[in-house]
Amino acid sequence: MKISPSILNCDYTDLRAVMRFLEDLHPDMIHLDVMDGVFVPNLSFGPPVIEALRPLTDLPFDVHLMMQHPDRLIDAFAKAGADSINIHVESDAPIDETLQHILDLGKKAAITIKPKTPVEAAFPYLDKVSMVLVMSVEPGFGGQSFMHDMMPKVTALKEEIRRRGLSTIVQVDGGVDAATAPICAEAGADCVVVGSAIFKTDDPVGLVSIVHGN
């Protein structure tokens, strides 16, 4: 699997050091959780922080918009340096139009489903997105416990993607660590977001190695 470390629970007093730490782990991308305090009960950061981080690494930025109206700031996130822009199917954005806008800006489009959302809600957009993110916790805060019952969604998505002959990847975010990453892989996940675990473990290199299947 690919790994996308989330900086949600990092040390924000020294983001340069955080970027160096992550680069040394050789991840596939960096996950940036943007929360608006409305769609989820937490507030994080926006385009200015992403713009400040962009010169610090060449790793792709996997930007996850946990926002009620993500369509209003797509241009700003693209300009700030996002490589992939991910919106929630449950948001109030016009989903098709917003995904097309992301693509028109030359960025990869992605979509997320929350735990209570049926997996079929993502099916209409599989032809347009590069990635579907299955949340294995309720979005909003890091450090939550992994929801094992989300794994059938991952398997169902992989089966639908294969049936259509698409290259869309399936990502899992929430409670992923050394113990749950293999469960995600077994379900068919192509990529996992690792947040709290990567900053709290004594062996981050070992954790990345587990995710990568080494």
Which residues are catalytically annotated? 33, 173
Residue bearing tokens 């009620």: 68
> Going edge to edge, which strands form the sheet with 61-66?
2-5, 191-194, 169-173, 131-135, 108-113, 84-88, 61-66, 30-35
**Is the Cβ–Cβ distance between 44 and 63 less than 8 Å?**
no
How far is 28 from 74, CA to CA, in rounded Å?
A: 23
Give the Cα separation of 109 and 128 in Å (integer).
7
**How many other CB atoms are found less than 10 A from the CB of residue 149?**
9
The backbone torsions φ and ψ at residue 198, rounded to the nearest 5 degrees and listed phi first, read -75, -25
Neighbour-count burial of 13, counting CB atoms closer than 10 A to its CB (0-12 exposed, 13-18 middle, 19+ buried): exposed
CB atoms within 10 A of CB 209: 14
The helix or strand, by DSSP H or E, that contains position 40, with its residue range, turns out to be none
